[in-house]
Amino acid sequence: MNFNTLNHIYFIGIGGIGMSALARFFKSQGKIISGYDRVRTPLCEELEREGMAIHYTENINLIPKDIDLVIYTPAIPKDHLEFVFLQKTNIPILKRSEVLGLITQNMIGVCVAGTHGKTTITTMIAHLLTQSKVKCNAFLGGISKNYNSNLILSETSKIAVIEADEFDRSFLKLHPKIAVISSVDADHLDIYGSKNAMEENFSEFVNLIQNGGFLFQKYGTPNLGGTPNFYHLDDPNADYYTKNLRVENGEYHFDFVAQNGSWNDMVMTYPGLHNVENAVIAIVIAYMLGATETEIREGLKTFAGIKRRFDVHIKTDKLVYIDDYAHHPQEIEACVKSVRNLFANRKITGIFQPHLYTRTRDFADEFAKSLSLLDTLILLDIYPARELPIEGVTSEMLLEKCTCSTKILATKTNLIDILKTQPLDVLLTMGAGDIDQVVNPIIEYLKTIAGGCFDSALLRST
């Protein structure tokens, strides 16, 4: 498809993180952009301020008459009124991943896949390149705090850094020159059916790497074919890893080790032990694409992170509040352990919103194990997203399996009232649904109980 000939593009599910990046890309190309989304989120409001017309009711009469391309997200229900109507027209309809693949097919594609870690790695690579002479274009799965966007554009670079999403097999539409696989844990079993089937699709992704391209995998992930270069946090069996990792004045210091040498005393201010591992592969890719050691060192120091990825909103001696997107048992475990590493001997209260009935059902025991690492668990109702309820799959069922010393069921409506009954030290919110809507109310409540202990330099609000 020749995108240059298009004038008006319509997005079904425009407020999704991947969809909004595409909408912003085409807006930058001078296209008229409009769309539908179910909820008017802060991201949708940003898109509206950027000149995109969005409506929030399924109504075929609200679809503009002059559109010449429809882009949709696979997260919408198949019986969505507008989607069903548009399928009966002659207007071309493409899935988000198909469009992303077409845009980037003639670029140097750096495609980052994995059941977790991919958003942070993608954004780290994009930041290191953007802060260097190399530059890049980037389609991110989160909002970069450095650029306040999920889209980075360069007029000179032919590099495209892309988050390669395994949901609905979307990553099989991409054209990687460099592929990264951060993890291959069982997930999206409603799509794949089994972990083996999911691994087979990751192998298909590896097979998409162009001739002369490169594959990088976390050490310990399954054999997916190809000839991978391995990275790890600290395992010397990997090709790239760290040693002498330590925390000094709230910053991570480490030596970066490669096969042909090492860089001593790298400094990263972004928190989370798992993010040090993410930084290892980001360093490798940025250097491989031409960024210098000096540029990478400076870029690592200035990396501010991604909204809702280990997002530290409050940090004082008396109170800490962190928000994170963790919604898989492995992600929750990594998040809680990183909090323990940074705030040893402090009480951690976690608020978690399960995402999807199928995921809760398929990984109930694993969720219970990771959530039990908390001192106090406050569990919200399951966020259904695209799914209908499944009999017997409830937050009550999950709570019964958890072994925290204190565990409480809550709703978004009564959450603040429940927090008022709890002694708070380190507070953590986790989930991929609409739990982000409670972040600002939590911050406002915490301000009221903190007295004069807040240091304004350490207090951030979204």
pTM of the model: 0.84
Q: Looking at the structure, do residues 113 and 91 belong to the same domain, yes or no?
A: no
Q: Which long-range contacts (CB under 8 A, 24 or more apart) does 150-158 make?
A: 150/17, 150/18, 150/20, 150/21, 150/24, 151/21, 151/24, 151/25, 151/28, 152/126, 153/25, 153/28, 154/130, 157/129, 158/106, 158/107, 158/108
Where does a domain end: 284, 302, 320?
302
Q: Within 10 Å of residue 301's Cβ, how many Cβ atoms?
A: 14
Coil, helix or strand for 361? helix
Q: Looking at the structure, do residues 407 and 343 belong to the same domain, yes or no?
A: yes
Is 286 in contact with 129 (CB distance < 8 Å)?
yes
Q: What is the pLDDT of residue 250?
A: 80
End-to-end C-alpha distance for the chain, whole angstroms: 39
User: Torsions phi, psi of 262, nearest 5?
Assistant: -145, 155
Q: Looking at the structure, do residues 179 and 269 belong to the same domain, yes or no?
A: yes
In a domain, 1, yes or no: no
Among the listed residues 210, 218, 208, 207, the one whose alpha carbon sits nearest the alpha carbon of residue 281: 218
Mean pLDDT of 373-379: 97
In a domain, 91, yes or no: yes
In a domain, 270, yes or no: yes
Q: Looking at the structure, do residues 347 and 289 belong to the same domain, yes or no?
A: no
Where does a domain end: 39, 65, 95?
95
Q: What is the pLDDT of residue 272?
A: 85
> Given strand 406-409, what is the order of strands in its sheet?
311-315, 320-324, 426-431, 348-353, 376-379, 406-409
DSSP 8-state assignment for residue 37: -
Q: Looking at the structure, do residues 365 and 408 belong to the same domain, yes or no?
A: yes
Where does a domain end: 60, 95, 130?
95
Q: Looking at the structure, do residues 164 and 55 belong to the same domain, yes or no?
A: no
CA 7 to chain centre: 31
Residue 190 binned pLDDT confidence (cut-offs 50, 70, 90): low
Q: Looking at the structure, do residues 132 and 208 belong to the same domain, yes or no?
A: yes
Q: What is the CATH number of the domain that holds 417?
A: 3.90.190.20
Over the chain, what is the mean pLDDT? 92
Q: Looking at the structure, do residues 73 and 211 belong to the same domain, yes or no?
A: no
Q: Looking at the structure, do residues 46 and 118 belong to the same domain, yes or no?
A: no
Q: What is the pLDDT of residue 132?
A: 98
Q: Looking at the structure, do residues 269 and 129 belong to the same domain, yes or no?
A: yes
pLDDT tens by residue, 66-122: 999 999 998 888 899 999 999 999 999 999 999 999 999 999 999 999 988 899 999
Quote the CA–CA distance of 295 and 53 in Å, as a whole number.
40
Coil, helix or strand for 181? strand
In a domain, 2, yes or no: no
Q: What is the pLDDT of residue 293?
A: 98
Is 223 in contact with 242 (CB distance < 8 Å)?
no
Question: One-letter amino acid identity for 66?
Answer: D
Among the listed residues 414, 427, 108, 438, the one whose alpha carbon sits nearest the alpha carbon of residue 289: 108
Q: What is the pLDDT of residue 192?
A: 66
In a domain, 100, yes or no: no
Q: What is the CATH number of the domain that holds 128?
A: 3.40.1190.10
Instruction: Inform me whether the pLDDT recorded for 451 exceeds 70.
Output: no
Domain range for 22 is 7-95
Q: What is the CATH number of the domain that holds 90?
A: 3.40.50.720
Quote the CA–CA distance of 232 and 123 in Å, as a whole number.
18
Q: Residue 171 has which token pair?
A: 């990553």
Quote the CA–CA distance of 237 and 243 in Å, as a whole number.
12
Q: What is the pLDDT of residue 285?
A: 98
Q: What is the pLDDT of residue 462?
A: 32
In a domain, 434, yes or no: yes
Q: Looking at the structure, do residues 186 and 321 belong to the same domain, yes or no?
A: no
In the chain, the percentage of residues whose pLDDT exceeds 90 is 81
In a domain, 186, yes or no: yes
In a domain, 264, yes or no: yes
Number of domains in the chain: 3
Q: Looking at the structure, do residues 404 and 340 belong to the same domain, yes or no?
A: yes
pLDDT tens by residue, 200-227: 999 999 999 999 999 999 999 999 999 9
